[in-house]
A and B are shown apart, each in its own frame.
Chain A
Amino acid sequence: MNAFTYPDSVDTAGMDVANVSERPLLDVSGVTLQYKTRRHLVTATYRVDFQVFEAERYVLLGPSGCGKSSLLKAVGGFLQPVEGAIRLNGWAVSGPGPDRMMVFQEFDQLPPWKTVKQNVMFPLLASGKATRREAEEKALDCIARVNLSKFADVHPHMLSGGMKQRVAIARAMAMEPDILLMDEPFAALDALTRRKMQEELLQLWDDLRFTVLFVTHSIEEALVVGSRILVLSPHPGQVKAELNCGGYDHHAVGSPDFQDAARRIHAMLFADEVETVKGLRS
């Protein structure tokens, strides 16, 4: 058993646990997504259902072409489903909005003409959620949480990739969105930085207990970051399984438990190939 072994939550049992609402925060039902290229109409996902509850770390996992990013963009309101519905707090999602903050994979998601602090303040001011003073206070707090206080007045082009992603996370955090949408946020980072960022994200979650919908194609990342994993099959994306994940941390990666879970998911994703391997063995 690898139940919740995060650095600061050793005494999870002793903490006062606030029960979250029984109603799902995000309800995705029967969603089919299609997009047009110049020649083709591509179906990205076909009748995908899933529900995300408050304070969950919900991971969409699948190989490239399973429409996981398209699903996230649909939740973000950038893509309209051709079939099915996406509801947040019971309200249908109709367009992009600051109640669902996105963290993208690309480093150029931060407007380069704003300093780190201004970048974090920008959505707060643009959405009219805070006055300038409140926004500044909040921004500085969030920047401190991602350990970038020293760089508050620096422009993004002076920062490394990992630092830019931290700013993007701080920016999303400051908005206190209903749900945080992360589209492979650490995929473009080097392995060491990625690991550190995963740890920091878990630490942040432990402090703030936000809800996050996280897209990845790495089984290991899904197991480390997620509390529940939706496994999608490719071309078009369909739900293959929905799994609970006991909260492994990086120390658990080598454990047999973790390896079993990883192997199980791997078998689901690459079922055909595994069968041929089995055939050879017998």
Chain B
Amino acid sequence: MTGLTLTRQRRRMPPVRPEYERAVATTGPIGDVARPLSLWERIGNVTALRRFAVLAAVALLWQVAATWQNNPLMFPTFAATVTALWEGIWRESLLSMAWVSLSVLLKGYAIAVVLAVLLTSFAVSTRIGNDVLSTLTSMFNPLPAIALLPIAMLWFGLGAVSLTFVLVHAVLWPLALNTHAGFTSVSETLRMAGRNYGLTGIRYVVTMLIPAAFPAILTGLKVGWAFAWRTLIAAELVFGVSSGKGGLGWFIFQNRNELYIDKVFAGLVTVILIGLVVENVVFRWIEIHTVRKWGMVR
């Protein structure tokens, strides 16, 4: 027929097969093949337990390494640190010191959140606002908060005000950056739906944009929290007692001066514990009841 070698062979025809129809069986017996998970599989599914196992492994590693080093002055064991922590809580009011730090932290954090919301609302509603936010975040976000502390102390004196100022600086920019990124990624359809309802101005931001951008905002809140903690402890460490009463950083600083290294470790552990609780309890709770429930995050 043609010169092509590929079509040289005879034209192939598929076989003609008979048609059929079937009555479909009820799926009752098929639907019952679910197998209950074994105890181990169920234990393995509990996130808290898995995380706890990781913590236990780290503690064990620490204990072994410190025992092997055998230098309690430089590197106290896990057990010694726990003892120091226990004593710190009961004898040296470690908890109230932690509270001093926390209360300053929360105040700065809250102010920064409010400012970030105002700034980003301004940024999404006007073009100049957008320019202001972009320029300010690129200017101030890379600037370490601790570098501002000397100036803050000149302006506001030795006290909680200076600390709050640097905390606001530490939280505001990363949070504003994330929130703004979240706002700009809200789908056009959802925006139009919101405006279709007749929502404008602050009501539009609060009822449409903020929930729609919540995954990004939550990330910003977490990053901001971590930055705030670091800044606060660093500030207390470097400048000693900067508020009226000493905080956690002051506790660490003082004990280092007196070479109570196990107490220094106890202070660090307290910082870590608070961080763990906030991340795994507070933020996790918020996440489960918002973005996970809404199917925005898996």
**B-binding residues in A (CB < 8 A):** 73, 76, 78, 95-98, 100-102, 104, 106, 108-113, 122-123, 126-127, 155-158
Contact = CB atoms under 8 A, between A and B. Distances in A.
Nearest to A107: B189
Q: Which 4 A-B pairs have the closest CB atoms?
A: A157-B295, A126-B197, A123-B197, A96-B195
A98 B198 contact: yes
Contacts of A78: 192, 195
Interface residues of B, number: 22
Contacts, number: 68
Interface stretch (B36-44, B127-135, B205-213, B247-255): B205-213
B252 to A, nearest CB: 42
B11 interface: no
30 contacts: A76-B192, A78-B192, A78-B195, A96-B195, A98-B196, A98-B198, A102-B193, A108-B190, A109-B190, A110-B193, A111-B190, A111-B194, A111-B211, A111-B212, A112-B212, A112-B295, A112-B296, A113-B212, A113-B290, A113-B294, A122-B197, A123-B198, A126-B197, A126-B198, A126-B203, A127-B197, A155-B294, A157-B294, A157-B296, A158-B295
B194 to A, nearest CB: 8
Given A106-B187, A108-B187, A108-B189, A113 B198 contact: no
Interface string B161-200: 0000000000000000000000000010110111111110
B189 A106 contact: yes
A183 to B, nearest CB: 9
A219 to B, nearest CB: 26
Interface of B: 187, 189-190, 192-199, 203, 207-208, 211-212, 214, 290, 293-296
Contacts of A76: 192, 196
A158 B199 CA distance: 26
Nearest to B192: A78
Identify which of B196, B198, B214 gathers the most chain A CB atoms within 10 Å of its CB: B196
Contacts of B293: 155
Nearest to B291: A113
A178 to B, nearest CB: 13
A277 B195 CA distance: 47
B248 to A, nearest CB: 37
B295 A96 contact: no
A157 B207 CA distance: 19
A245 B16 CA distance: 44
A111 to B, nearest CB: 7
Contacts of A122: 197
A104 B194 CA distance: 12
A6 B187 CA distance: 37
Given A108-B187, A109-B189, A126-B203, A97 B294 contact: no
Contacts of B192: 73, 76, 78, 96, 102, 104, 109
Nearest to B195: A96
B209 to A, nearest CB: 11
B289 to A, nearest CB: 11
A123 B207 CA distance: 11
